Amino acid sequence: MPVNWNDIDTVLLDMDGTLLDRHFDDHFWLEHVPKRYAAKHHLTVEEVKEKLYAMFRSQEKTLNWTDLDYWSHQLGLDIPMLKQEVDHLIAVHPDVIEFLDFLRSRQKGVHLVTNAHGKTLSLKMKKTRLGSYFDTIVSAHDLGLPKEDVAFWGRLQEKIPFDPSRTMLGEDSETNLGTAAAYGIRYLIFVSSSNSQLPAAPSGQFLSVNTFGELLPER
């Protein structure tokens, strides 16, 4: 077993790609939004993809990246409504429920910590019914900084008391694990199968698991 659970009191978990299949998000932004945008402007999907992908990239690692209101405004589309059109793709990764049940049985503090916007969070919690597994659900939009910023973790600590030396973070972003490491969070787990439609891609830097089942004690 790669972690000793007696050393960990608090577990912070990312949502998209970590607990939930990133296939939904990738499909939504890379295929569905271009399709709707192209239809609205009487252009081909291929024509608009290049333009939209460049717009998306320009906001990487900022809160705008996940701000549905920002994108509704920028693109002139009702982004929350478009998400509902493909919400059948929202899916929980294998072993996640077992892992959350295990954490609860061991009385760990379990917190969902996501860059996702409030509107994305409510859609996903409604679809997956995962909400009751968490002591706290924190959107970076409420803290005013994305996880890509080291100062995020200090702001989080004001909201959720945790001892970084006894805390685990599960993420599918090496950048966010890097800022957490810089802040002093000790147990860092990278989820290498974030999108079920793509091959697993383990991190060269952080302990990687395909599913959280790998962190459960032998049964």
Q: How far is the CB of 194 from Mg ion (least distance, A)?
A: 7
Cβ pair 28, 190 in contact under 8 A: no
Decide if 18 contacts 172 (C-beta within 8 A): yes
Please return the burial class of 199, using the count of CB atoms within 10 Å of its CB with bins 0-12, 13-18 and 19+. Answer: exposed
Q: How far is the CB of 176 from Mg ion (least distance, A)?
A: 7
Given the complex with Mg ion, which of 45 and 64 has the nearer CB atom?
A: 64
Rounded Cα distance, 135 and 157, in Å: 14
Q: Closer to Mg ion at the Cβ: 67 or 172?
A: 172
| Shortest reach from residue 121's CB to Mg ion, in Å | 13
As given in the structure block, the two tokens for residue 80 are 């929350």
In the complex with Mg ion, which residue's Cβ is closer, 37 or 195? 195
Q: What is the closest distance, in whole angstroms, from the C-beta atom of residue 17 to Mg ion in the complex?
A: 4
Q: Which is nearer to Mg ion, 169 or 215 (CB)?
A: 169
The token pair that represents 30 in the structure block: 């890379």
Residue numbers at the binding site for Mg ion (CB under 5 A): 14, 16-17, 172
> What is 95-108 written as a DSSP string?
THHHHHHHHHHTT-
Catalytic residue at 78?
no
Tokens of 107: 């009385």
What residue is closest to Mg ion based on CB? 17
Annotated catalytic residue within 7, 78, 135, 142: 7
Instruction: Give the other-Cβ count within 10 Å of 121's Cβ.
Output: 19
For the record, the structure tokens of 162 come out as 């945790």
The catalytic residue positions are: 7
